[in-house]
């Protein structure tokens, strides 16, 4: 009985605000595309420097210089994204927060698009696999969360 009521409430909410969800989702996807395009606009020197930095990171990781406990990484990531989502919520209760919320959604898309685009551009198939293993799992949870929080925060501005 309670599950059915929650399902009906969520379905009603999504149906009622589908245009806002669509707008925020398209804004995020535009950010992803823009981030992938930005990779191609980097100069050869910038690409080389960034690739050398990434290569150095992997080299140090293989040699055991970077050792951080998985639980510590999880806590750091959870804290970082909790602050990000909390900031979006705070902006949602202020009148001037809407443009900043939308910029935050767009920038998150740019970061993801740039990361995946750069890895694929520089490493080809291995870069795609690396992006699939390292970027996709966390973003399966984060992207919907950002879209929902961004939509709800945008909705609060108008209430």
Statement: residue 111 has pLDDT above 70: yes
DSSP reduced 3-state for 115: helix
Statement: residue 104 has pLDDT above 70: yes
Note the pLDDT tens digit of each residue in 131-140. 899 889 999 9
DSSP reduced 3-state for 77: helix
Statement: residue 153 has pLDDT above 80: yes
Note the pLDDT tens digit of each residue in 8-27. 888 888 888 899 999 999 99
pTM for this entry: 0.86
The overall average pLDDT reported for the chain is: 88
Note the pLDDT tens digit of each residue in 43-93. 889 988 998 988 888 888 778 776 677 788 889 999 999 999 999 988 888
Which residues contact residue 60 at a Cβ distance below 8 angstroms, ignoring those fewer than 6 apart?
66
44 vs 8: CA distance, rounded Å:
53
């Amino acid at each position: 009985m309670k599950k059915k009521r929650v399902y009906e409430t969520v379905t009603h909410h999504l149906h009622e605000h589908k245009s806002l969800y669509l707008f925020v989702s398209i804004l995020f996807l535009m950010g992803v595309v823009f981030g992938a395009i930005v990779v191609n606009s980097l100069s050869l020197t910038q690409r080389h420097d960034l690739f050398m930095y990434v290569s150095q990171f992997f080299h140090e990781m293989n040699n055991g210089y970077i050792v951080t406990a998985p639980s510590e990484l999880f806590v750091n990531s959870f804290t970082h994204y909790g602050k990000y989502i909390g900031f979006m919520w705070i902006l949602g209760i202020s009148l001037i927060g809407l443009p900043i919320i939308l910029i935050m959604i767009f920038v998150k898309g740019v970061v993801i698009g740039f990361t995946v685009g750069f890895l694929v551009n520089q490493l080809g198939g291995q870069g795609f696999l690396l992006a699939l293993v390292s970027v996709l799992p966390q973003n399966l949870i984060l992207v919907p969360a950002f879209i929902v929080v961004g939509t709800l925060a945008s909705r609060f501005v108008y209430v």
